[in-house]
Structure 1
Amino acid sequence: MPSVATDPSSATFTSKAGIAVTNDGERHIPSSKRSDGSVRKEIRVRPGYRPPEDVELYKNRTAEAWKSRAGYGVPGAEVLSVDKDVAASNKNTKRREARKKAALAASDEAGLEIDGGDAIGHEPKTMGTTQANKDTTAAEPVDAGTEKEKEAKKLSKKLRQARELEEKKEKGDSLLPEQFQKVIRINELIRQLNSLGFDADGSKKEKSREGPP
């Protein structure tokens, strides 16, 4: 059935897709001329059909209004954010200044040396250093003596075990290879004890008795 041309001026509105709606509710695409001069016939649109271009016409207007409003943000929020940034910057500046003052105060208390080795408001720093050196020097012999005693105890224990194995061997008992090696090292253990200043029984030698092994 051929379509009847409709006067475009009788349409109430035209959608984005180019569909014109007349006063009686009919929907059609008006006729138009092609570039070659021929006429494109009017096309009727069946009821209920909605092209994708016209979907936006049915969006919730309230939701669209809220979306556009959200782009502007909450009134006063930007100013508040700027104020917070300024306040935070001021706090950081104050903290840095406080740390600098504390560092300077600590330097003064430590007695920084200037020309001539004098300290500001305090005794020269070298006195404390000298005392610390004395304490360290005095502690070194004590530590060395303690280490010698520990080593002598270990050697004395090994020597005692080796002599017990030697007695077993003299009685005719058979020894394992590792036990026999301990017996062989008896003289070596005695020499090590002598070099540390101890007798073969593990007791410390008197100065008058000390001599080369």
Structure 2
Amino acid sequence: MSSNISSAGITTDATTGERYIPSSLRADGSKRREIRVRPGYKPPEDVELYKNRAAAAWKTRGKGGVPGAEPMSSEDDKSAQAASTASSNKNAKRREAKRKAKEAEGSEATSEKKGADSDNWRTPATQKNEQLGEDHVDLEAEKEKKARNLKKKLRQARDLRDKRNEGEVLLPEQLEKLIKIPELVRQLESLGFDSNGDKKEEASQEKA
């Protein structure tokens, strides 16, 4: 007599306690032979899965209510929903009031900035003239600085030209500096300086 068929299809003989897989028919009509299962062997299909009670309780949380508490009636549910709705409306009103306050602060800051810009637009003529004078001085200083750099390069290039005229052999990069002599002179003239790096006005006064 056989009983206790497991999930893996293993049958246990109730009389002898032997375990085996009974014979069966294949799709082509052939017969599979009976397979004996050694004592103590347990296939994966027959291994029971471990069930964690805490995990199962966590999955079903909120469905059964608070343990030991009485179930809420429909009237209690309605009152709780009304209270939550009132609190949410109150919070919404607070958020709206904060948003309006921020907008008001932003508009005041914008108006103050516009007022400051308008004050700057109404700068006195004397202050504007002083600013123009400072810009002119800065421009002149920048021109003189650039002229000094050009004058230095021009002096170096002319020294190399003199060395070449004396028979000295120059390097390729030194020859490139010689080629740039006319360009350096042209840049000095565009800044208002002569080929020696002096201002044209001062040079003309010295000649006179």
Query: How high is the TM-score relative to the length of structure 1?
Result: 0.46
Q: Rg: which structure is higher?
A: 1
